[in-house]
Amino acid sequence: MAERHSRKQEAWQLEQSAESSPREPQGQNREDKASVSTVSHVDEPSPRDEASRLTVRMENTYQLGPTRHFPVAAVNHILKDVLTAYLQEAEYDPEFCRQMTKTVSEVIKAKVKELMIPRYKLIVTVYIGQQDGQSILISSRCLWNPKSDTVSSYALRNSTLFALANVYAVYFE
């Protein structure tokens, strides 16, 4: 035990001296300096290590489907409210839209989580682009169970930009 402790101390001292030594210049060869590698291991696990391996075991629920389906109409209402509040009067600017994409998606995710729908994983995507007479096609493909998984979507347009928000709800068995 004492021998293992002294090996740990030596390894720790070597690490400390390696960290505190100045870095070698770029042009200098590594062969000029002696390098030291250390490997540390523990032969016997400590009680603390064994306690960290213990996991909480939950009993199976045998629930293969949702008890409450995802409220698509309520989420559509949230999407409409958030996009209208944040982007109805906004002008297109690339930096502004980049930041608003992050902000709007976080707000939507927070508001949908407030509905407290159990066992659904949420994926929120927001697209914001310039409205300049062009055409754009945005599509997505998902592999999921159509009985329990669903998507909610809302699009907003004003004179200078368009925005599309999608909320994918995937049931977690």
- Nearest Cα to 121, choosing from 170, 73, 158? 170
> At residue 90, what are phi and psi to the nearest 5 degrees?
-75, 150
pLDDT at 36: 57
Note the pLDDT of residue 65. 84
Cα–Cα distance measured from residue 91 to residue 86, given in angstroms and rounded to the nearest whole number: 11
Looking at residue 43, its pLDDT comes to 55
- pTM check: above 0.85: no
What is the pLDDT at residue 21? Answer: 47
- Residues of the chain where predicted confidence (pLDDT) is lower than 70: 1-54
pLDDT for 61 equals 76
- The whole-number pLDDT of residue 110 equals 96
Q: How far apart are CA 123 and CA 131, in angstroms?
A: 25
| Per-residue pLDDT, 55 | 73
β-partners of residue 157 are 162
Which pLDDT score is estimated for 59? 79
